[in-house]
Amino acid sequence: MQHDHQHLDFLISQHVDGSLDAAGKKSVEQRLLTDPEARKLYQEHREVQDVLDDWGSRIPMINWEDFDRKLAGRLEKETVGTPAQRTPGWWKPVAAAAALFVAAWGGYAWHAISGNGSQTAVATVARPAAGGGFATASVKIDDNGSAPVASSARFRVDDSPMSLGAPEATASNVSVAAPGDVAASEALRDAVMSGLSHLSNMANIDSKPGSASAMNGFEKPNHASDDAAAPVDRDAVPPLP
């Protein structure tokens, strides 16, 4: 009985709010015609809602011109302090290239100075992708003493990074498939080759820090026959911990 009363009360509340569907509305209206208790409940909800409507009609007396001016000033101040919102769109690729260059140079310097005969290399190669933009492959090569292994590989086409996880491509099996894009696959292969080349030249780097031959340790293997190849970067980093 109590439950029925509360249910009716809730339905009447929704009727006052105008949030009942057509069937619910019709049902409540029929009940209101025949049930004095329902009419009493309706009256109570209506009374409170009318008071709220009247109270709600009072609008805040705010000087909106002042408000807008003050807000514009605060937004300008915020924007001045946020370089990302006022720098043009080209800054990201430029920053990425600069970071890559710094990382490569840092890696080279670290190897040259420490001379610890690292057994890990990371190589990055890029070339035009079939659908436009560039396919970029980045491969980490580990030499565990028996055979060099590509322990992880990442490549991306344009701005869509895709990870291949850890394909475990060995030195003799560098054709790790890059889904749907021959250029990406070639970039990946070249990255692996570049990493292997780097590993094989490490002794040279260590023995002659800072020399021209040491720089060659970061060079990509010869792909002169492949006109489409467009290596834009080569990278080497210190061994991972």
Partner 1 sequence: MAGKAAATTNDPRKPGSNPMSQRMPNDAQAHSLQEQAKQAAHELGLVIASKAGDRRAFGLLAQHYQRQCAAVALRLLGNTHDAAELVQDALVKAFKSLDQLQQSERFGPWLMRIVTNLALNYRRSRGRRQALSLEQTLGDSTEGDDLRASVAGSVLDAPDQPAASAELGDAIQIALNGLPEKQRLALVMFAIEKMPQKDVAEVLNCSVEAVKWHVFTARKQLKKSLGNYL
Residue ranges that bind partner 1, judged by CB under 8 A: 9-10, 13-14, 17-19, 22, 44-45, 47-49, 51-53, 55-56, 58-62, 64, 67-68, 70-72, 74-76, 78-79, 82, 84-86
Is the CB of 66 or the CB of 227 nearer to partner 1?
66
Residue whose pair of structure tokens reads 């025949």 in the numeric block: 34
Shortest reach from residue 41's CB to partner 1, in Å = 10
CB of 67 to partner 1, least distance (A): 6
CA distances from 36 to 31, 111, 126, 143 (A): 9, 91, 81, 89
Minimal distance, residue 48 CB to partner 1, in Å: 5
For partner 1, which is the closer residue by CB, 14 or 151? 14
> Rounded CA gap, 110 and 3, in Å?
77
CB of 40 to partner 1, least distance (A): 12
Q: Which residues contact 147 (CB under 8 A, 6 or more apart)?
A: 170, 171, 172
Closer residue to partner 1 in complex, CB, 22/224:
22
Q: Residue 68 or residue 226: which is nearer to partner 1 going by CB?
A: 68
User: What tokens were used for 106?
Assistant: 């840092």
CA distances from 74 to 61, 70, 79, 83, 159 (A): 21, 6, 9, 16, 34
